Structure 1
Amino acid sequence: MDDFGIHATALTKSYGALRVLDGIDLAVPRGSVLALLGPNGAGKTTTVRILATLTEPDSGTARVAGHDTASERTLVRRSISLTGQFAAVDELQTGAETLRMMGRLCGLRPRAARARADELLERFGLAEAAGRTAKSYSGGMRRRLDLAASLVARPEVIFLDEPTSGLDPRSRQDLWDLVRELRADGTSVLLTTQYLEEADRLADRVAVLAGGRIAAEGTPAELKSRVAGHRLDLTLASRDAYDALAPRAARLAAGRGAPATEELTLTPEELGLSLPTDGSAAHVRSLLDALDPDHTAVDRFSVRGATLDDVFLTLTGAAP
C-alpha cells in the first residue's frame, strides 16, 4: 500500500434511490497522474469528495497517502490538497497575502510563510502581480493562485476537479505544465476533466466512469487500442444516405468480432459514421466499397488515429 498515493476498493454511494457509485476500485501510484473521465453525473466529484474525506461512502474502503479515510481523517487531510472546479480566492487580498495566510493556517511561522509564498508566486508566474488584489487577476491568474494556495503545505496527494474549466488555451497549457511538475516532484494527482486531450497529455492512466462503475482503465494508448488503432470517419451526402448506411455500417463493425456498439460511432446530427480500420489503403477501400458500392452516399471521408474521444463515446455513449 505504501506504493500508492490513492488506493480505493469497492466504493459505493447512493443518494436516495440514485446509485452514484456502484463498487469502484482505484489505484494511483505515488508520483503519477490518474485521469477520471465520465459524463456529467457519472460520480467523478462524488469520488473526489469521498477520497478527500468530505463525504462518507456507503461501503468500501480507501487509503490516501497511506492513511485510512475513515479512521485516519486528520492524517489524510494533512497530506492532501483539493482544487475544485472554480477558483476559491479572496478577491480583496493580494496574491502575496493569500499565500502567506495559507502558510500560517498550515502552521508555518511568519518568516517561513513569507518564504513559501514568494517561492510559489515565482513558480506560478505571479511574482509581478503579488501586490495586486485578486479581483484584478484574469481567470487564468486566479486559477494559478488557487492552485498555488493548495500547494503551500506540499501535499503528497492533490485532487484537481476539472481544474482548467473555463480557461483560455494559454492558461490551460500553463496549468498542464504545472501538473507535470507536480508529478516530477513525486506528488500523486487525481484529475477529473471534461477535456479528453487533457487526459491524453497528462495522465499515466485513465479510468472511465459509466453507470457508477469503472467501465475501463489503462494507459491512454491501451484504451485507444480497444476501439482500434485507426478510425474511418465518413460524412454522408444526405439523410436518406445516412439512414441506409448506418445499419450496414453496424453489421460491418460487428463482423470484426465485437458488438457493434463497441466499434461503431454514430453522429446523426452531422450525418456522420466512424468505423474501426487497420489504416491500410486496402482495408479503407474495402470498407468504402462495402458501404457505398455505387459511390454516391459518402460525401467525404478521412482516416485518423483513435483518440480518447472515441474511447469515451464507445464506453459511455455520451458526448465528451
Structure 2
Amino acid sequence: MSHQLRRQSPHSLYLTFATLLLALTLVIDLLFHSNQISPWLVWLLLIACLVGGVAAFAFGRSVPNWIGIVGVMLFIGAQSYFLSLADDPQSVISSLQQMPVIAFYLGWFVRPAFAVPLLLVSLSAFSAVIAGNPLLWPDGAIGTPVAVHGLLSLVFCYGVGFTLWWRQLRVAATDPLTGVCNRRGFVERLDSRLRRLTARRGGFCVVAVDFDDFKRLNDAHGHAAGDAALISTVESWREEMRSGDVVARIGGDEFVLLLPGVDAAGGTAVVQRLQQGSVNAWSWGIAEAVPGDTADELLARADSALYEQKHRKRGDLRA
C-alpha cells in the first residue's frame, strides 16, 4: 500500500477521494432514501464511482485525463436529473451541495480550454433544470435563493481551483532562488515565440549569460555569497529590462535572456546597458531568431557565441 501511495499525484488522489465521497452519498440514498429515487440509476452511478475511484488509484500519477472528463460529464447528467425531481426536495438539495466537488476539479486539474466549456455547459444545464423545478421557484419549498447559492458555489469553487492550477504552473516554471523563469518556463515561452515568428514580424534575440569566475567566488566566500551575487544581478537586470523582456536561470550561474522586437544589433545594445548596471562580471553571447529555428538550435548558437567571448577574455587575460 505504501508503494502505491507513493505513486499518487494530487490529480489521482482527488479523483479517488471525490468518487468515493460521491459513492458514499449514493449508498446513503440507497439506505435511507430508496422510496423516492430510482434504485437502478443510483446503482449504476455507484458502480461508476467505485470503478472510477479504483482506476484513478491504480493508475496513480499516470491516470488518464479522460477518466476525469468522463466523470464530470456523467456528474452533469446525473445532477441535472436529480435537480429536476419536483417531488424530492432531499435529492435536489443534495445535488446542489455536491456541485463544488466537480467545480473544484475542473478548475484545478482540467486545462481551461476544456474546463471553461464544461463549466458553461453545467451552468446552462443546471440553470435550465432549476428554472423548471417548482421546488426552486421563489414560492417553492426550497426557494430560488438556495438554487442561486448552489450556482454561485459552483463558480466560486471553479475559481479557487483555477487559482491553484495557475499557481502550480507558476511554481513549476519559476527558479526558487532568483524568482525568474527556470529552464522549463523559458523553453515554453521560447517555443511559443518561435511558432509565431515569420520573416516579416515577431523577430527577437536570445542571449546566453554565464558569470565570470563564479566558482572562485563560491570557493572563496561560500555559496551564500554566490547566491547573493546572482540575486543582486537579476535585480539590476530587472531595473533596466523592458516590460516584454524575459530572463531565466537555466543552471547554477547560467542565464538566458529573451529580447523581443530587436535584431542582433538592438539586442547587443540592451545587453551592454545591462552590463553597465551590473556589479558582477559576466560574459554573454547573442543569437537572432530566424524562421524555422528550433529552441535547441537557437540556444546552441547563443551558447557558441558566449563561449567565443569567454575564450577571448581568457586570451586577453593571458596576454
Instruction: Place the TM-score, normalised by the shorter chain, in its bin.
Output: 0.3 to 0.5
TM-score of the superposition, structure 1-length normalised?
Answer: 0.32
TM-score of the superposition, structure 2-length normalised?
Answer: 0.32
Greater share of helix residues, 1 or 2?
2
